[in-house]
Structure 1
Amino acid sequence: MGNQWTLQDATNEFPAVVEAAQGGAPQHVTRQGVEAVVVLSAEEYRRLMALDAGREPKRDFVEFLFSAPKLPDGLEDLFEPEERPKIVMRGSPFREGD
C-alpha cells in the first residue's frame, strides 16, 4: 500500500503500518482525504525530539526587541527624536493669513 493510508485501511492493517514505520518509512494516514497523522518509528521520533531539544526556544517579538544590545554609555542622545515639521494644507480653513 506504500506509505499513505486511509484511516480505515490503517486501522484494519495496523500491524503493517507499524512494521513499515519501524522499517524507516514514515506512514501517512489520511482522514476524509486530508493528512491527519504520520506514524514514525520510536527511534526516528527520539532523533527528531533530540534535534528539537538542541534548538533555541522561540521568543516572541517583544522579547526579541528587549534582547537587542544596549547602546554604550554616552550615546543615548544619538537617536533623539527630531522636531516634527509643521504641515499646512493648501486651502485649509485653519491656515493663518487667508
Structure 2
Amino acid sequence: MTPSNHGPYSRRSPRLAWKLAEAKARFSEVVRLAASGRPQRVTVRGRDTVVVVGAAEFDELQARAKQVTLHELLSQSPLNRLDFGEEGVRSPVRDVVL
C-alpha cells in the first residue's frame, strides 16, 4: 500500500500526500518524512485536510507569524500621536528633459 500522489511529485520521490487511513497505518513513516524536511499532506475524502511538518519548520513558521509588522511597530511608537498637520510643504519642481 502506498500513499496517494497529488500534485507535481514524481513517482521516484517519496510521496507527500496520504489518505487518512494510510497515514494512520503508516504514521511512523509520515512522521519520519515530515521530520526530514518534507511536509506530508493528509487527505480526507479526497480533500487536503492537514499537513504534518517537522518541529523545526513549525517553530520557524510560528516565529514568522509572531513578527511585528511595520504598521504595528509605528502604531506602538510614543511618536504616533504627533500632529504633522494637513498641509505639506510645496517645493518648486524643475523641468526635466527625458
How far 1:16 moved relative to its partner?
0.2
Is 2:39 the partner of 1:20?
no
Aligned residue pairs, count:
66
Q: Determine which structure has the larger helix proportion and give its number.
A: 1
In 2, Cα distance between the equivalents of 1:11 and 1:70? 60
Instruction: Find the counterpart in structure 1 of residue 44 from structure 2.
Output: 31
TM-score by length of 2: 0.58
Instruction: For residue 21 of structure 1, give the secondary structure of its aligned residue in structure 2.
Output: helix
**Cα RMSD, aligned residues only:** 2.6
TM-score by length of 1: 0.58
In 1, Cα distance between the equivalents of 2:61 and 2:50? 16
Percent identity over the alignment is 31
Q: In the alignment, residue 21 of structure 1 is paired with which amino acid?
A: A
How far 1:35 moved relative to its partner?
0.2
Equivalences for residues 69-88 of structure 1 within 5 A: 72=85
Structure with the greater alpha carbon radius of gyration: 1
Instruction: For residue 72 of structure 1, give the secondary structure of its aligned residue in structure 2.
Output: coil
In 2, Cα distance between the equivalents of 1:55 and 1:12? 41
Structure 2: gaps spanning 5 or more residues: 4-14, 73-79, 88-98
Is 2:51 the partner of 1:46?
no
How far 1:72 moved relative to its partner?
1.5
Instruction: For residue 37 of structure 2, give the secondary structure of its aligned residue in structure 1.
Output: coil
In 2, Cα distance between the equivalents of 1:4 and 1:45? 18
Structure 1: gaps spanning 5 or more residues: 60-66, 76-98
